[in-house]
Homo-oligomer: A and B are copies of this chain.
Amino acid sequence: MNMLIKEPEDEILKKEQAFKIIRSILDKEGREAIYDLTGLAGGFPIKKEDKKLLETYIGPAIYEKKLEKLALEHLGGEKAIAFNRTTTGILATIIALTKPREKIIHYLPESPSHPSIPESAKIRNTEYLEFDNIKKFHIPEKTSLIFITGATMDHKIIKIKEFKRIISLSKEKGIPTIVDDASGARLRTIIFKQPTAIQLGADLAITSTDKLMNGPRGGILAGKTELINKIKRVAYQFGLEAQPPLIAAMVRALEEFKPSKLLRTLKKRDELHLKLKKSFKSFEKTPTGVMIRPEKIKKEIQKHQIKTPLSPKDTSYLWSMILLKEHGIITIPAAGMPGASPTLRLDLSAADAQKLEPDQIVNILEKSFQKLLKTAKEPPKAKKLLLGG
Contact = CB atoms under 8 A, between A and B. Distances in A.
Interface in A62-95: 62, 64-65, 83-88, 91, 95
B84 A55 contact: no
Interface in A216-252: 216-218, 229, 232-233, 236-240, 243-246, 249
A42 B55 contact: yes
A322 interface: no
Most buried by B among A20, A26, A62, A236: A236
A229 B38 contact: no
Interface magnitude class on chain A: 35 or more
A31 to B, nearest CB: 7
Given A233-B338, A238-B119, A239-B91, A58 B246 contact: no
Interface string A117-159: 0011001110000000000000000000000000000000000
A52 B84 CA distance: 20
Contacts of A218: 243
B52 A236 contact: no
A243 B246 contact: yes
Contact of A237 (B61, B64, B115, B210): B115
A36 B8 CA distance: 42
B238 A338 contact: no
Interface string A2-26: 0000001100100000111011001
A42 B56 contact: yes
A34 interface: yes
Contacts of A236: 12, 337-338
Interface stretch (A43-51, A197-205, A282-290, A295-303): A43-51
Interface string A338-353: 1100000000000000
A41 interface: yes
A239 B44 contact: no
B57 A22 contact: yes
Interface in A162-204: none
Contacts of A60: 19
B36 A57 contact: yes
Nearest to A245: B245
Given A123-B95, A125-B100, A243-B246, A229 B57 contact: no
A81 B93 CA distance: 25
A43 B217 CA distance: 20
A330 to B, nearest CB: 5
A87 B34 contact: no
Contact of A41 (B36, B55, B120, B246): B55
Most buried by B among A58, A65, A244: A58
A308 interface: no
A61 B26 contact: yes
Contacts of A36: 55-58
17 contacts: A12-B236, A22-B61, A34-B58, A42-B54, A42-B244, A56-B217, A84-B88, A87-B237, A88-B239, A115-B237, A123-B238, A216-B244, A218-B243, A236-B337, A236-B338, A239-B240, A243-B246
5 tightest A-B CB contacts, nearest first: A42-B56, A85-B239, A87-B239, A19-B61, A22-B61
